[in-house]
Amino acid sequence: QVQLVESGGGSVQSGGSLRVSCAASGYTYSRYCLAWFRQAPGKEREGVVIIGRSTRYADSVKGRFTISLENAKKILYLQMNSLKPEDTGIYYCAAGDWYGTCDFKHWGQGTQVTVSS
């Protein structure tokens, strides 16, 4: 049974940093189709960063967030620096297969990130 278990969320002041993690159980990540999404209250879910044909960051997080994969390909990370209140939301990791575009089949349970001003 594939499970993606997230951790590392919490509350931080504006300008601070957090690293959220997504540990795979019963699954090993590939090099592609790895992503972090987020959903702010009252807003649509949006892609934060997606590794597909290339690694693409949302404009709003470029230069501040970094996606990385542990060498054993069991943990996916999102390092978040210079956090802003607008970054507040539930963060979800996702993984899947490449079919020209990514088909995200596996999702984390979500972890809350709250950034205060």
Distances (CA, A) of 70 to 22, 50, 53, 85, 100: 10, 16, 19, 28, 25
- Span 80-92, mean pLDDT? 98
Three-state DSSP class for 28? coil
pLDDT of 1 reads 86
Closest by CA to 113, choosing from 36, 3, 56, is 36
pLDDT of 31 reads 85
Closest by CA to 35, choosing from 89, 98, 96, 82, is 96
- At 50, is the pLDDT very low, low, confident or very high (cuts 50, 70, 90)? very high
Q: pLDDT > 90: what percent of the chain? A: 84
- Span 93-110, mean pLDDT? 92
Contact between 37 and 91 under an 8 Å Cβ cutoff? The reply is: yes
pLDDT digits (tens, 9 = 90+) for 4-45: 999 999 999 999 999 999 999 988 898 889 999 999 999 999
